[in-house]
Amino acid sequence: MFGIISKSLKTGVVTTGYPDTPAEVSSHARGKPQIDWAGWKDARPAAAVCPTGAIETRDESGARAVTLDLGKCIFCGLCADVDPAIRMTNQRALAAPSRESLRQTARYGLNADGTQQPLLAAPAASDAKPESLETVGRQLRARIQAVLGRSLHIREVDAGSCNGCEVEIHGLNSPVYDIERFGIHFVASPRHADMLLVTGPVTRNMELALKKTYDATPDPRLVVAVGACGCSAGIFGRNYATCGAVDAVIPVDLYIPGCPPHPLVILDGLLRLLGRLEDRR
């Protein structure tokens, strides 16, 4: 016992200072692809190598619409390997309140050889409303008490994931991220939960179970789709074994893309979502 206490004192505090300090994500972590929309000459090579269809081109009437869907993106970097107009960043805090918020579309004129002319219309700004993480973090406890009258309880549901997201979610309970310091707890029963944290494409074997879990969660219930698979079905897509994304089965209040999302990204999304609870009530 004294050995454990001695080691703890020597180790010191390991918990991240977030949200009082900026989120610390390794510079080597691969996140959102950044596109030079104005200098993009030809989106077809990037669209051809994208394994999930996150980059899509549509040609009609002498124009090309190019869409980047961050809900489908798995941050693999293949597009950046074949296209100098794309580079990978470590930006991973991409939580959005709607699926459309994760899509960016630009329009170009077309040359005779299929390459793109100068940009006709740049992507519209996201309708997500970023807030100061520091402000949200300081107000979190007050919001939980005012809206729910108790701590926030989460039931995690694996609807068919590869378990990559589960590893990151499990990290939220570690001493490094310590989600319980915000009054947020994971529970075993949906009847005790305020929120469902759902991962993976929904397999057909889990469709009914997910619906029953949603029905068993008391109002006001919230649903968060975690990871590219939860947001869009990701690399698995919709097929004979899967129903598709989480919102194909139950309503979703927040989308947290990534493959998998970093624990700080998940925590960032939860903080943002709690700002929407009052509107729901």
In DSSP terms, 57 is beta-bridged to 66
Taking the CA atoms of 188, 246, 96 and 259 in sequence, report the sign of the dihedral they define.
positive
In DSSP terms, 186 is beta-bridged to 154
Taking the CA atoms of 130, 134, 139 and 144 in sequence, report the sign of the dihedral they define.
positive
From 197, 279, 189, select the one nearest 231 (Cα to Cα): 197
**Model confidence at 11: pLDDT above 70:** no
User: pLDDT (tens digit, 9 = 90+) per residue, 92-120?
Assistant: 778 888 899 999 999 999 999 999 999 99
* Amino acid letter, 28: H
**Model confidence at 131: pLDDT above 50:** no
User: pLDDT (tens digit, 9 = 90+) per residue, 41-78?
Assistant: 999 999 999 999 999 999 998 899 999 999 999 999 99
Return the higher-pLDDT residue of 143 and 179.
179
Q: How high is the pLDDT of residue 45?
A: 95
> 169 phi and psi, to 5 degrees?
-65, -40
**Model confidence at 127: pLDDT above 70:** no
- Tell me the pLDDT band of 138, cut-offs 50, 70 and 90: low
From 218, 207, 248, 215, select the one nearest 230 (Cα to Cα): 248
User: pLDDT (tens digit, 9 = 90+) per residue, 185-210?
Assistant: 999 999 999 999 999 999 999 999 99
Predicted TM-score of the model (pTM): 0.86
**Model confidence at 34: pLDDT above 60:** yes
Between CA 157 and CA 54 the distance in angstroms is 25
Domain boundaries, the chain: 33-121, 133-280
From 129, 134, 109, select the one nearest 119 (Cα to Cα): 109
User: How large is the average pLDDT for residues 201-230?
Assistant: 94
Give the largest Cα separation in the chain, rounded.
Answer: 77
For strands 222-226 and 195-199, give the pairing: parallel
CATH for 133-280 is 3.40.50.12280
